[in-house]
Amino acid sequence: MRKLLLLIIISTLFLACQPGNKAKDDAVNFKNVNQQMTKSFSDLNAQDTFKIELNGRKPENMVLVFNIKKAGGKEIYHVQLKGSDLIGDTDPNLDLSKEKDQMTFLKTIADNFFAEDNFLEPAVLPEDKADNYVPDKVLYEELKKSRLNGFKYRLGKENNVYIAWSEKEQKVKIYYKCC
Task: Give CA–CA dist 26/19, Å, rounded.
Answer: 12
pLDDT tens figures, 62-93: 999 999 999 999 999 999 999 988 888 777 78
pLDDT of residue 62: 94
| DSSP codes joined into one string, 29-51 | ----EEEEEEE--S-TTS-EEEE
Phi, psi of 95, rounded to the nearest 5 degrees: -80, 105
Residue-range definition of the domain harbouring residue 76? 2-178
Mean of pLDDT over the chain: 85
Taking phi over 0 as left and psi of -120 to 50 as alpha, with beta for the rest, 170 belongs to left
3-class secondary-structure state, position 166: strand
Mean pLDDT of 30-38: 85
Name which residue leads in pLDDT, 5 or 75.
75
Domain count, the chain: 1
pLDDT tens figures, 93-144: 888 889 999 999 899 889 999 999 999 999 999 999 999 999 999 999 999 9
pLDDT of residue 89: 78
3 has a pLDDT exceeding 50: no
| Short-list 79, 104, 96, 91, CA closest to 156 | 91
- Long-range (24+ apart) CB contacts under 8 A made by 140-148 are 140/175, 140/176, 142/166, 142/167, 142/168, 143/175, 147/44, 147/122, 148/41, 148/42, 148/43, 148/44, 148/122, 148/123
